Amino acid sequence: MPDYSTRTAHILSRIHELAAISEDATGATVTRRFGTPAFLKGRDLVQGWFEAAGLETRLDGIGNLRGRLASRRPRAKTFVLASHIDTVVNAGKYDGPLGVLMGLDLVESIIQQGLDLPFHLELIAFSDEEGVRFHITYLGSKVVTGAFDPALLQRIDADGITLAQAIDEMGGNTAQLAADALPPTEWLGYFELHIEQGPVLWESGVPVALVTAIAGQQRMELTWTGMAGHAGTVPMPMRQDALAAASEFVLATEAFALAHGHGLVATVGQLRIPYSASNVIPGQVIHSFDLRSPDADQLAAAYAGIQTQAEALAARRGVGLTWQLVQATAPVQCDHELNRLLGQAIAAGGYEVVGLVSGAGHDAVPASAVAPATMAFIRCYKGISHNPLENVEAADVAAAMAVAERFLLELKDAHN
């Protein structure tokens, strides 16, 4: 009988070792954005673990770490186990790395048992799922799935560095990105283990669930342009205050999402005021806008409705508005057959089979365009994520490990 609690303790000790590598030299917060020295140092650590497990590893052109366990079957397809090792800023320890390190443990166990699978296994630690540095998500998985648009190479980060420059500086190779794709004919499927990042499992006491769908999301950048002025001399009715306009927009979109419900969520997570000073009326405000829904029609209607509201608000306030759509991803359904097997594995563990829609985006989204894809969610502390309070119970990770290992063995039997 596998000793999942010992294996889980090993996974969690690696989680803490990786979390100690951060852009924050004080170590007080966990931040490893795509291509930064901290990201590269963390990836080196994980690559050492891949190689110690016996995986043949390589770094692809966009910096994904790829470990391959070849099947002895010559015409075998490839089943991908993956998640990401980049993080948001001031992140938790588990969003991404937990899926990679649980996947590594599953592969280590297969190698130790000397199992010959009827498919190649490729374990991938994606280099940029969060899209923090260039505001575009899934850069790593887009390369592996062949969905990477070369035009993205011209995107610039807050320091004016292009994605192409960042890739070159980290030792990547922009000329290789197309060749790094796993051809659609070679995919058998995709499976990702990830913390739920929501409260459902926490409240229900269920340790692990399957994912039925992943919400669609749109990422925008809005720029409000008013008139900078003296905070002491411009009468209130004469102001074209860009921050007041942006603030009204934030509250109006919050009210819009609350009023429409059904999984619609709207967030302004980043905002900057160029040339800001306490005694200057903000002349310009630039901010992000993240809009999501599991329902494509609701997402489209909300996008149009909120944009119309924003334009009317800008006109009323005499403020200019530019609304730039940065990225749009449609909602995706997870694969029914994989979920049938995953549901069997969950039930065999004695757990209620819970199916969840993910409000968070995941690399399973690009993967679902080329292969049957699904995910398993692990219960996390109060559903908190993108926050240092992110946490998991070892018992829940152990439960998910048992389910995932049973799922892989079912997959082996199904393709033998």
Cβ 194 to Mn ion shortest distance, Å: 6
* Binding-site partner at residue 124 among Mn ion, ligand HGY, none, CB < 5 to 8 Å by type: none
* DSSP state, residue 119: S
Query: Which residues does residue 79 pair with via DSSP β-bridges, in sequence order?
Result: 121, 189
Sole window of 6-14, 73-81, 87-95, 221-229 interacting with Mn ion (rule: CB under 5 A): 87-95
Strands 65-69 and 120-126: antiparallel
Cβ 31 to ligand HGY shortest distance, Å: 14
**# residues near ligand HGY by CB under 6 A:** 5
Cβ 129 to ligand HGY shortest distance, Å: 5
**3 state DSSP class of 19:** helix
Taking CA atoms, 349 is separated from 203, 263, 356, 400, 401, in Å, by 19, 30, 18, 9, 10
**φ, ψ at 314 (rounded to 5°):** -65, -45
The residue among 8 and 298 lying less far from ligand HGY, judged by its C-beta, is 298
On whether the CB atoms of residues 242 and 225 are closer than 8 A, the answer is yes
The token pair at 354 is 């819970």
Sole window of 30-38, 43-51, 88-96, 106-114 interacting with Mn ion (rule: CB under 5 A): 88-96
* Binding-site partner at residue 128 among ligand HGY, Mn ion, none, CB < 5 to 8 Å by type: none
Which residue, 370, 401, 345, is CA-closest to 146? 370
Draw the binding track, 120-149, toward ligand HGY (x: CB under 6 A; -: no contact): ---------xx------x------------
Q: Does 360 bind ligand HGY (CB under 6 A)?
A: yes
* Binding-site partner at residue 96 among Mn ion, ligand HGY, none, CB < 5 to 8 Å by type: Mn ion
User: Could you say which residues in the range 94-113 bind Mn ion, by CB under 5 A?
Assistant: 95-96
Q: Which residues of 276-309 are buried (b: 16+ CB within 10 A; e: fewer)?
A: eeeeebbbbbbbbbbbbbbbeebbeebbeebbeb
The residue among 96 and 198 lying less far from Mn ion, judged by its C-beta, is 96
Q: Does 361 bind ligand HGY (CB under 6 A)?
A: yes
The residue among 342 and 364 lying less far from Mn ion, judged by its C-beta, is 364
Distance (Å, rounded) from C-alpha 89 to C-alpha 86? 10
Question: For the chain, what is the radius of gyration of the CA atoms?
Answer: 23
Sole window of 40-48, 67-75, 91-99, 330-338 interacting with Mn ion (rule: CB under 5 A): 91-99
* Binding-site partner at residue 361 among Mn ion, ligand HGY, none, CB < 5 to 8 Å by type: ligand HGY
Distance (Å, rounded) from C-alpha 82 to C-alpha 122? 8
* DSSP state, residue 128: -
Which residue, 343, 375, 382, is CA-closest to 360? 375
The residue among 82 and 411 lying less far from ligand HGY, judged by its C-beta, is 82
Applying CB under 6 A, the residues found at the interface with ligand HGY are: 129-130, 137, 360-361
Residues that bind Mn ion (CB under 5 A): 95-96
